[in-house]
Chains A and B, each alone.
Chain A
Amino acid sequence: MRVEYINPFIESVYDLFSTMLGAKAERGEIGVTHTAANPRDIMALIGLSGPVRGMVALAFPVNTALNIVNRLLGTESRIIDDTVSDAIAEIVNIVAGSAKARMNSGEESVIDLSLPTIVRGNSFSIDYPSKSTWLEVSFQSDLGSFTLRVTFQQLEPKGKR
């Protein structure tokens, strides 16, 4: 998996923060991990299918998740509830959708997205796909820190071996 594959997702995170959240996000170094265990408190995952197969994850500490929801809605909630899960799911949906458009060459939509999944807590691990490598990048933002992870593999066109 090439490091530049994560760039459309990073650009989409920047876009999301500057437009809908009115905040600035700055990324750290890109790293590699072989596990999808949640590095934060709440994580949203979304699957990619089509000519590529993989997954995108955004993981947030509780404070960052709450700050994002409060910024979106103009509220001051300090409780993790279904609204927070819903917001984090929509955030990963927007980031993945925006990155998908950046990756899709030409006018046809060639990459499809699954519905997002939310995971709370970190006492578990996700191994998807088997033996996959995840690119990981941490962000610092006005709303707190968070982590972006991406794994995918380019599938060979039909007829090729």
Chain B
Amino acid sequence: MIRALVVDDSIVMRKVLIGALNRAQITEVDQASDGLEAVQAVQQKSYDLILMDWNMPNMLGIDAVKAIRAGGYAMPIIMVTTEAEKSRVIEALKAGATNYVIKPFEPATIVSKIQDVLAKAGVVI
């Protein structure tokens, strides 16, 4: 059973992303509303995939990615954010993000990215 963590301060965006995960046959999904909650969740439970927003209160998504990687966790992390500048994409990838999706996105795009990063990580859905 694949377990995913969706991190976004928007309840609606979390629901949209959970819908995308469900379409990718991933139904075991936890939620976090900021980077700090995400880091705490990763320390408490094992996840196969994280979808991470950038701009959130308490701790930014980019800082959560750095903290998760510093903790030795290697699961794929897809940034899902309005931050569309090339410099931001590079910054996220350097911090340890596996892939990057810019809002707004088509539902099929995010499903495809999810399947892609899991396949590359050797995770079978």
Mark A residues whose CB is within 8 Å of B: 15-16, 19-20, 69, 72-74, 82-83, 86-87, 89-90, 93-94, 96-98, 100-101, 104, 107-109, 113, 115
Contacts and interface: CB of A to CB of B under 8 A. Distances in A.
Contacts of B12: 69, 72-73, 83, 86-87, 90
A113 B85 contact: no
A97 B103 contact: yes
A109 B55 contact: no
Nearest to A13: B104
Interface of B: 10-13, 15-16, 19, 55, 57, 81-88, 102-107
Contact of B10 (A16, A86, A108, A109): A86
Contact of A107 (B13, B19, B87): B87
B19 A94 contact: no
A74 B19 contact: yes
Contacts of B57: 115
A113 B104 contact: no
A117 B10 CA distance: 13
B83 A97 contact: yes
Nearest to A75: B15
A113 B11 CA distance: 19
Contacts of A96: 82
Contacts of B16: 20, 72-73
Contact of B85 (A20, A86, A109): A109
A20 B106 contact: yes
A86 B11 contact: yes
A101 B84 contact: yes
Contacts of B82: 93-94, 96-98, 100, 113
A90 B13 contact: yes
A66 B104 CA distance: 19
A109 B88 contact: yes
A8 B17 CA distance: 26
B87 A109 contact: yes
Contacts of A100: 82, 84
A94 B101 CA distance: 13
B15 A101 contact: no
Given A69-B12, A83-B12, A113-B55, A108 B106 contact: no
A143 to B, nearest CB: 14
Nearest to B91: A109
Given A73-B12, A82-B11, A94-B82, 8 more contacts: A87-B12, A89-B10, A93-B55, A108-B85, A109-B85, A109-B87, A113-B55, A115-B55
